[in-house]
Structure 1
Amino acid sequence: MIQHSFLIDGEKIRTEDSFEVINPATAEGFARCSVATSEHLDAAVSAARAAFPAWAGKSVQDRAAMIEAIADAVEQEKDDLAVLLSTEQGKPVHTGAAGEIMGALKWARATAKLRPSVDVVQDDEAVRIEVHRKPLGVVGSITPWNHPVMIAVWHIMPALLAGNTVIIKPSSYTPLSTLRLIEIANGILPKGVLNSVTGEGGLGRMMSGHAGIDKIVFTGSTNTGRNIMANAASNLKRLTLELGGNDAAIVLADADTDKIAAKIFAKAFGNSGQTCAALKRLYVHDSIYDTLSTKLAEMAIAAKVGPGNDPETQFGPLQNKAQFDYVKELVADAVSNGARVLSGGQALDRAGYFYPLTVVVDVSDGVRIVDEEQFGPVLPIVRFMDVDDAVACANANENALGGSIWSADIEKARVLACRLESGTAWVNDHATISPNAPFGGAKQSGIGVEFGLYGLEEYMQLQTVRISK
């Protein structure tokens, strides 16, 4: 079984202590990964701090050119990287994994085109006042297991473009594709600019409390985000936290179920539901409730769930046993509270963490499957009569990453979308994001935003320069 190394100051580090990486399609280990200690983290921080002045001193054009070169180098290995990603994460090779790699390349290249501005807020006879944007220093990135390459790119590329150096800790469930990304990038970047550390339990906590790290960017659960925020207080770290989501979608009575069913299905079940901004609570008007529920259940029944290396697979397994068990628990709880299961509802009788696409009806707020983020291939559908009640239910949840309104009346839907208390509100769509528009959560779904100039500014410190004439 191959043991993979992390990378500090341009050098691969292999340790005696290692942990197993599990293939979720078989529930068996297929690789091992070295465990970084606090001393390794200190060494990574030292390397990043030493590399920072020269990296920050480069022009933004030079840094952007290196990001473009990294994207080109990753594209040369996209097929092998997709296989590795699929093996450790579970998503189908030729759709989900390949799509994630290409999406990451799109984001990297879009980020490379961004340019921080210098704003002139006053220029008269007495004074010129400029607002500059300067890098923070060392950025610590902690990434999740659902999109390990894409989210690593979201964290790393704007940090590098802004002039920061980076230390990344990928999830111990899915470290390998991220480690390979870092290796490829280190073939282009100066030593120490981009470092990686890997380990189970405790390493992220050490990063968030480390005095030599100036900012943490984290994507993951709200509880972990709270812990990071508390640990980061020791040196007032800057934070970008993209946390849990339990996105609600509201389908109005005038919606055409034939037109919207396939899109709702894709936005709810993509990546087997393991996406922060996936559609996770579906509120449907009583007049079309049964029709839309039936259509979605039929699609779920017809879907091919299987291992990522099967060309016919459309949806892979859940990534880990803890999430697999949690999804089973939520469905069982819903059934015990009177819910009906129109599709799926029972784990598949095979090795691995396979759970079928599951549509659950006759549920309401107050049942765990509605109130809690499933993060799996399960969609609860809630019946409503009054749209104001539906909006109130959508807003009652502590999570507020995204939400959507579905209607044939675009203006009515836009007005309702603006009433949603979410970081992003969609009309006749859900979970679609782009590199030029900010993305982040409201309420307990996070702090700060990513993407575009809005996200780039999260990696920079404002400096006001006053020039007296």
Structure 2
Amino acid sequence: MWKADQETVIVEAFINGHHVPSRSQSAKENPADPAEIVGYFPVTTKEQAVEAIEAAAEAFKIWKKTPIDERIARMRKAIEKIRAAENEIVHLLSREHGKPLYDAHGEIYVSLMWMEFACNEAASVLQEEVQEHDHGKTILSYDPMGVVAAISPWNYPIALSTIKIAPALLAGNTIVLKPSPFAPLAAAKVAELIASEFPAGVINVVHGDADVGVELTRNPLVAKIAFTGGTATAKHIIKAASETIKDMTLELGGNDAAIFLDSFDVQDERAMRRIVISNFLTTGQICMIAKRVYVHRSIYDAFVEKYIEAANRWIRIGDPFDANTTVGPVNNLKQKNYVQGLIEDARQRGAKVIPLGQILDQQRFEQGYYLQPTLVLDCDYHDPIVVEEQFGPTVPILPFDDVEQVIHLHNESIYGLTSSVWGQEEEAILVARQLEAGTTMINTAAVQGLDVRFPFGGFKQSGIGREYGAEGIRTYTEQHVINVPKTLDLPYIPE
């Protein structure tokens, strides 16, 4: 096992059970200290991507016939390997991503929770159904699709890879995974740990540039695309996949709103801590994080005061390996510049920008991709920092006057991934029923309200399809209906 907190890690493409060298490699820096190279990952060629797809297609011929009990047993062994290597994985993830150690452990926790759920439920969820009825007999089976191209993002690289790998393989498919170049190392290592428990070709890992992504989305041997990432990239994927009409599961951007009703108790310190965490966990780089906050005008001033107090208590910006750190750097320079641009735009428009939290190490802060978390007040409902997904450590808080207004503000967004409503439970549920979102949480938000037993996905431009839950397993299958009619002659067809 690699020593991820000490060594420079090198990963290669993994095709048909073997590491495949590449002609060139890219360096992955430590976002907390960009002068430190954490490791290197390959620039996979288009030809190698084709090789991986063909290996997966060949392996599928055998793997699809493997009994479900064996698939589950292999996945359980893979889970134990990940659990045994958790500390090494966490240290590598923290170094390449910038997550504080507690957050990196949390990602492994969510990953294993989902993989175990999928193992526990796969046999019953994929069980064929046989119905005897007046017209005869009908058999409904859930058949594997074939080769799955899985493209994962950098913000939760392990969790958002395993969310695809586990159900795809349990359903009898094979897979080609492409991790993000902004967090490629830990995801590749975890995928290889899983692959070690499966036949060659069942799991393949490639890296590389846009031409590799295009091949994964266009190649006719690929039956399904599972993508988590930005809406703009998804539009290109949809166009490429349209040539061969591929099945797709797309979990995309979100501009998730948190709505605080006048019944919310601003003196509830634990609730205030939950909303702060839901804004700034993983430095605000989570698709389902609360990115805009609407507060009823009657409690607005008190809310802002208590929010700042809670944020200043919880937010400690520093080295991800410092146990006191709760917020690390932004993952990459491009994202840092984008978020910084939104904050400066808001300031130029007249908004009040309030820095939050404590910087633990000023020298480290200045040399890394750090941004001090900020609260943005007095902005317009339609300013870019409100209507665009920031994906970083800043959040606007805006007042609203009545429920109808805030429902409109929520629903006019092009996104609809998650939302949250805070206040008296029955009233909050009534509001939640009127929101256009895949998931709405009551009196909590973000991963604090995530339950892998239930489907997750978005409305509108936040995605297509669902992950997690039974739907997250069946989405990697085709429903196959076999009809055995009792009466073969139809009364309305003449002899």
Q: Give the structure-2-normalised TM-score.
A: 0.91
Deviations 1:181-227 (A, max 9, x none): 12211221110000000113332122111111110000000000111
* Residue aligning to 1:412: 427
* Cα shift at 1:468: 3.0
Letter in 1 for 2:440: A
Partners of 1:124 and 1:145 lie apart in 2 by: 50
Q: Is the CA contact (8 Å cut-off) linking 1:179 and 1:196 kept in structure 2?
A: yes
Q: Is the CA contact (8 Å cut-off) linking 1:300 and 1:357 kept in structure 2?
A: no
Matched, 1:389 2:405: yes
The structure whose Rg is larger is: 2
Matched, 1:451 2:468: yes
Q: Is the CA contact (8 Å cut-off) linking 2:312 and 2:358 kept in structure 1?
A: no
* Residue aligning to 1:74: 82
* Residue aligning to 2:255: 246
Matched, 1:144 2:153: yes
Matched, 1:354 2:370: yes
Partners of 2:285 and 2:183 lie apart in 1 by: 14
Match of 2:276 among 234, 253, 265: 265
Matched, 1:11 2:14: no
Q: Is the CA contact (8 Å cut-off) linking 2:147 and 2:175 kept in structure 1?
A: yes
Question: Match of 1:405, SS?
Answer: strand
* Residue aligning to 1:21: 28
Q: Is the CA contact (8 Å cut-off) linking 2:312 and 2:357 kept in structure 1?
A: no
Match of 2:182 among 173, 187, 205: 173
Partners of 2:40 and 2:33 lie apart in 1 by: 16
Q: Is the CA contact (8 Å cut-off) linking 2:285 and 2:392 kept in structure 1?
A: yes
* Cα shift at 1:345: 11
Matched, 1:119 2:126: no
Match of 2:311 among 294, 297, 300: 300
* Residue aligning to 1:32: 40
Letter in 2 for 1:383: P
Match of 1:289 among 296, 300, 308: 300
Partners of 2:215 and 2:309 lie apart in 1 by: 47
Partners of 2:307 and 2:335 lie apart in 1 by: 23
Q: Is the CA contact (8 Å cut-off) linking 1:301 and 1:343 kept in structure 2?
A: no
* Residue aligning to 1:47: 55
Partners of 2:310 and 2:33 lie apart in 1 by: 26
Residues 297-306 or 361-370, more deviating? 297-306
Residues 125-134 or 174-183, more deviating? 125-134
* Residue aligning to 1:321: 333
* Residue aligning to 2:113: 106
Matched, 1:86 2:94: yes
Matched, 1:426 2:441: yes
Letter in 2 for 1:179: A
Letter in 1 for 2:434: R
Residues 2-11 or 142-151, more deviating? 2-11
* Cα shift at 1:3: 3.4
* Cα shift at 1:27: 1.9
Q: Is the CA contact (8 Å cut-off) linking 2:223 and 2:247 kept in structure 1?
A: yes
Letter in 2 for 1:235: T
Q: Is the CA contact (8 Å cut-off) linking 2:316 and 2:358 kept in structure 1?
A: no
Partners of 1:179 and 1:119 lie apart in 2 by: 37
Q: Is the CA contact (8 Å cut-off) linking 2:379 and 2:398 kept in structure 1?
A: yes
Letter in 2 for 1:446: G
* Cα shift at 1:434: 1.6
Deviations 1:412-459 (A, max 9, x none): 111110100011111112122122100001000000000121111110
* Cα shift at 1:152: 0.7
Letter in 2 for 1:395: N
* Cα shift at 1:332: 0.6
Deviations 1:322-343 (A, max 9, x none): 1100111011111111111222
Q: Is the CA contact (8 Å cut-off) linking 2:249 and 2:466 kept in structure 1?
A: yes
* Cα shift at 1:38: 1.1
Letter in 2 for 1:417: A
Q: Is the CA contact (8 Å cut-off) linking 2:273 and 2:311 kept in structure 1?
A: no
Deviations 1:227-264 (A, max 9, x none): 11110011111000000000011101110112221111
Q: Is the CA contact (8 Å cut-off) linking 1:283 and 1:382 kept in structure 2?
A: yes
Question: Match of 2:210, SS?
Answer: coil
1:146-165 → structure 2 map (5 Å cutoff): 146-165=155-174
Q: Is the CA contact (8 Å cut-off) linking 1:138 and 1:165 kept in structure 2?
A: yes
Q: Is the CA contact (8 Å cut-off) linking 2:311 and 2:357 kept in structure 1?
A: no
Matched, 1:231 2:236: no
Question: Match of 2:316, SS?
Answer: coil
Q: 1:282 to 1:372 in 2, by over 3 A?
A: same
Letter in 2 for 1:53: K
Residues 338-347 or 198-207, more deviating? 338-347
Partners of 1:312 and 1:251 lie apart in 2 by: 30
Q: Give the structure-1-normalised TM-score.
A: 0.96
Partners of 1:327 and 1:346 lie apart in 2 by: 19
After TM superposition, the runs of 4+ consecutive aligned structure 1 residues lying more than 6 A away are 345-348
* Residue aligning to 1:58: 66
Q: Identity across aligned pairs (percent)?
A: 35
Partners of 2:247 and 2:108 lie apart in 1 by: 28
Partners of 2:317 and 2:246 lie apart in 1 by: 42
Matched, 1:215 2:231: no
Q: 1:310 to 1:61 in 2, by over 3 A?
A: same
* Residue aligning to 1:198: 207
Partners of 1:71 and 1:399 lie apart in 2 by: 34
* Cα shift at 1:119: 3.0
Deviations 1:99-130 (A, max 9, x none): 1112211111111112313234x523541012
Letter in 1 for 2:301: D
* Cα shift at 1:4: 2.0
Letter in 2 for 1:42: V
Q: Which runs of 5+ in 2 are unaligned?
A: 1-7, 487-495
Matched, 1:370 2:381: no
Letter in 2 for 1:461: E
Deviations 1:13-66 (A, max 9, x none): 121211111211012333211111111011111110111121111111111111
Q: Is the CA contact (8 Å cut-off) linking 2:428 and 2:442 kept in structure 1?
A: yes
Q: 1:374 to 1:125 in 2, by over 3 A?
A: closer
